[in-house]
Amino acid sequence: MHGLVQIAPLPPVPLHDLFTYRVPEPLRARIRPGMRVRMPLGRQTRTGVVAGFADVAPPGELRPILDVLDADPFVPPDLLELCRWTAGYYLASLAEVLAAVVPVALPAPGRERVVRLLRRLTPEEEAALARRAPARARAYRVLCAAPGGELGGRAARAAGLGPPAVRALVAAGLAEAGLRPRLRPPSAGTAEPRPPLTPAQRTALDAIAAAIASGDAASFLLHGVTGSGKTEVFLAAAEHTLAAGRDVLLLVPEIALTHQLVDRVRARFGDALAVLHSGLGPRERWDEWRRVRHGGARLVVGARSAVFAPLPRLGLVVVDEEHDPAYKQEDGLRYNARDVGIVRARLARAVVVLASATPSAESYQAARDGRHVLLELPDRPTAHPLPPIELVRLRGRPPGLLTDELSAALAANLARGEQTLVFLNRRGFAAYLQCPACGVAATCPHCSVTLTWHRAARALVCHHCHHRRRPPPACPACGGPPLAAFGVGTEQIEAALRAVHPLAAVERLDRDAAQRPGAQRRILGSWQSGDTDILVGTQMVSKGHDVPGVTLVAVLLADLSLNVPDFRAAERTFQLLVQVAGRAGRGDAPGRVIVQTFRPEHPSVAAAATHDYAGFMARELERRRALGYPPFSRLVNLRLEGRDGARVEHAAREVAARLRRQARALQLADDAVLGPAPPPVERVRGRYRWQILLRAPDVRALRALARLAAACGPALGRAHVRLAVDVDPYSML
């Protein structure tokens, strides 16, 4: 029996975390952490989530909560604990985390009545309901008495409840009866025949299955070359988990690029699957959350935010392509879904499998330290080994990036009727427009970057703030000739290929091409069915697809991602090259990869060319150790930004000075506080930015420092300077 509760309001109140409320006597027996309540807040009535109980009342008069909305915790206990961990680790408030986790669309008033139906009613309440809403009361009774689904569904429809409400009622009915929906038998509806596992796959699966059977937490790094059958292994592990009565969470970097995997999972697991992604409307997201929460879906596939899906009996977390930067949330609540997934598995005593052909330096080092069990799949099970990679050295200023070697290979591939993937990690037509007379380039008025020329749209576009403008008729600086295009983007390559091969079906996949609704699915669809001869694209084409007809992969300019001022640039480049090369030769015909570069001797390029992950990573880890970068240190990035550049700089200097004093008190090394310095892109959307980078071997000391900085937040806010704390930062541009 608890009289005081702490509530996280939805949405949260800025600069506040939890609020304490009194629980009226009749609600005390029922209320538990993770349940939603209605409560007064200011002059409004709001919904909130019970974060926990309070022992001591804060000073002042306490207001009572008005109602408890759930019969079972809406946020299950291990998920609530995960939210608490997330708030603590990423220096956010619990209210902020819960707001990011719990679906925002709370039920409309009519729907709220349905939701209230879902908790067990007392006999008096039921009698009252029967008087007020006889049909709904009937539906409720039918569901409680015979929660078989069909019968309940018909009764609910008769009661005038719409399909989402019916689904919710049925799910709740099943949950209350302690039943779970039946799984489609594994053999039904499988689109693909299941190959017998290779010995390496078998060894990996046996290790994971043993951990699942033990019921204890365990963590694995599944490192297998592209096309080695990692997916087969973790889908088989998912079957073991479901058979053991526990649920599965499968995280993917980007759901839109993963249709193939989703189809494969659906073919195997049918209706037990829920797909969570940002494309869901608020209503759908709400329905899926409820379905998952009440055991209506036993397997969730989703991108980063799905790591918080309310699976009640989590047994397996798979993080596919664990190295992918898309797992890092870059605004709002900044978290890394891979790392949260690892913690979630630990809290739920579940098994976690991180899968990749190019594991991140962090995960690989963790495996070397014994924090993950390393499982390796060194070969492809199919007849064809990894494709050979040919390096083509670029010299001087390449007119169009289509070298003779590449053009010949492409023409030969087309003549054989085979598919070609052309990769260039820069969208747009040209990189920038520059005055041929005075050399001034067109730049964004809000950000300190050049604008990218998109010829089809006849627009100069800022890739940071999306500012668009028409090109000026004359150079704005010297009044001279019109600006000329320099540099090459995917759009220009597409146009060039169409011109050279007018009969070939050429398509482009990048963020511009994928903007129209359904475009992405259509482009990938005709690529997979073999209708597209040449697909030109950015890193969007490097992941996820298994298209057997692709025999030639061309990387036009490998250097692009090397020239980024980021300590992960070498790792990122290696990963991109290996991943994109891995798209070739997955079918019966052997593959071929051509990589064009100005620096064929660069370690990232040279190692990728020989598919030498171990060699690359050994060197890269030594370099990181020598420079004191992760995984041999931890980082926290503090970003201050505001419209008045001088003020931001002044504030950054003050905060940094304070942090240095504190770092000395904590006996941290002299270089624990780096900066302040402006990031490479100093101004974005009209806001000036300064950064302070905290670095130490121990994350606890670092978080103590970061907390001190976070405590300056309100004072900075009064000076119109915003502070963002990024723990384990990924992008510092």
195 binds, among Zn ion, ligand ADP, none (CB under 5 to 8 A by kind): ligand ADP
341 binds, among ligand ADP, Zn ion, none (CB under 5 to 8 A by kind): none
CB atoms closer than 10 angstroms to residue 458? 11
Amino acid letter at 218?
Answer: A
Tell the residue number behind the tokens 């991602």, with chain if given.
561
Least separation in angstroms between CB 447 and Zn ion: 3
188 in Cβ contact with 180 (< 8 Å): no
266 in Cβ contact with 296 (< 8 Å): no
110 binds, among Zn ion, ligand ADP, none (CB under 5 to 8 A by kind): none
290 binds, among ligand ADP, Zn ion, none (CB under 5 to 8 A by kind): none
User: Which CB sits closer to ligand ADP, 159 or 261?
Assistant: 261
Least separation in angstroms between CB 450 and Zn ion: 10
> CA 560, CA 431: separation in Å to the nearest integer?
11
689 binds, among Zn ion, ligand ADP, none (CB under 5 to 8 A by kind): none
93 binds, among Zn ion, ligand ADP, none (CB under 5 to 8 A by kind): none
User: Which burial class, exposed, middle or buried, applies to 225 when counting CB atoms under 10 A from its CB (0-12, 13-18, 19+)?
Assistant: buried
Least separation in angstroms between CB 382 and ligand ADP: 5
231 binds, among Zn ion, ligand ADP, none (CB under 5 to 8 A by kind): ligand ADP
> CA 53, CA 33: separation in Å to the nearest integer?
8
What totals of helices (H) and strands (E) does the chain contain, helices first? 23, 28
Least separation in angstroms between CB 226 and ligand ADP: 5
User: Which CB sits closer to ligand ADP, 423 or 453?
Assistant: 423
Tell the residue number behind the tokens 């990938």, with chain if given.
524
User: Which CB sits closer to ligand ADP, 192 or 330?
Assistant: 192
DSSP-derived pairing of the beta strands 4-10 and 459-461: unpaired
Least separation in angstroms between CB 659 and ligand ADP: 44
**How many Cα atoms are found within 13 Å in the side-chain-facing hemisphere of 544?**
22
User: Which CB sits closer to ligand ADP, 7 or 353?
Assistant: 353
> CA 723, CA 91: separation in Å to the nearest integer?
12
Concatenating the DSSP letter of every residue in 597-631 gives ES-TTSHHHHHHHTT-HHHHHHHHHHHHHHHT-TT
Which of 166, 142, 138 minimizes the C-alpha distance to 153?
A: 166
Question: Terminal CA-to-CA distance of the chain, rounded, Å?
Answer: 51
249 in Cβ contact with 275 (< 8 Å): no
Least separation in angstroms between CB 220 and ligand ADP: 14
For residue 380, give Cα distances in angstroms to 224, 226, 227, 321. 9, 8, 6, 17
Which of 658, 669, 670, 644 minimizes the C-alpha distance to 705?
A: 658
Least separation in angstroms between CB 613 and ligand ADP: 13
Backbone angles phi and psi of 732, in degrees to 5: -120, 25
CA 315 and chain centroid, separation: 21
Least separation in angstroms between CB 197 and ligand ADP: 5
Least separation in angstroms between CB 681 and Zn ion: 9
467 binds, among ligand ADP, Zn ion, none (CB under 5 to 8 A by kind): Zn ion
User: Which CB sits closer to ligand ADP, 155 or 355?
Assistant: 355
User: Which CB sits closer to ligand ADP, 228 or 450?
Assistant: 228
33 binds, among ligand ADP, Zn ion, none (CB under 5 to 8 A by kind): none
User: Which CB sits closer to ligand ADP, 36 or 543?
Assistant: 543
User: Which CB sits closer to Zn ion, 644 or 682?
Assistant: 682
User: Which CB sits closer to Zn ion, 444 or 475?
Assistant: 444
Least separation in angstroms between CB 716 and ligand ADP: 46
> CA 429, CA 69: separation in Å to the nearest integer?
54
328 binds, among Zn ion, ligand ADP, none (CB under 5 to 8 A by kind): none
User: Which CB sits closer to ligand ADP, 300 or 377?
Assistant: 377
Residues that bind Zn ion (CB under 5 A): 444, 446-447, 462, 464-465, 467
197 binds, among Zn ion, ligand ADP, none (CB under 5 to 8 A by kind): ligand ADP
Least separation in angstroms between CB 518 and ligand ADP: 25
Q: Which residues of 404-429 are buried (b: 16+ CB within 10 A; e: fewer)?
A: eebeebbeebbeeebbbbbbbbbbbb
Least separation in angstroms between CB 684 and Zn ion: 7
Residues that bind ligand ADP (CB under 6 A): 195, 197-198, 201, 224, 226-232, 381-382, 546
For residue 89, give Cα distances in angstroms to 93, 511, 636. 10, 32, 11
User: Which CB sits closer to ligand ADP, 232 or 491?
Assistant: 232
CA angle 366, 343, 629 (to 5 degrees): 40
User: Which CB sits closer to Zn ion, 25 or 330?
Assistant: 330
User: Which CB sits closer to Zn ion, 376 or 682?
Assistant: 682
Least separation in angstroms between CB 625 and ligand ADP: 29
310 binds, among Zn ion, ligand ADP, none (CB under 5 to 8 A by kind): none
DSSP-derived pairing of the beta strands 351-356 and 314-320: parallel
User: Which CB sits closer to ligand ADP, 198 or 526?
Assistant: 198
Strands (E), 424-541: 432-434, 452-454, 459-461, 468-469, 484-486, 506-509, 534-537
CB atoms closer than 10 angstroms to residue 515? 9
> CA 600, CA 606: separation in Å to the nearest integer?
6
Least separation in angstroms between CB 460 and Zn ion: 10
447 binds, among Zn ion, ligand ADP, none (CB under 5 to 8 A by kind): Zn ion
- The pair of three-digit structure tokens given for residue 598, joined into one six-digit string: 């100005």
676 binds, among Zn ion, ligand ADP, none (CB under 5 to 8 A by kind): none
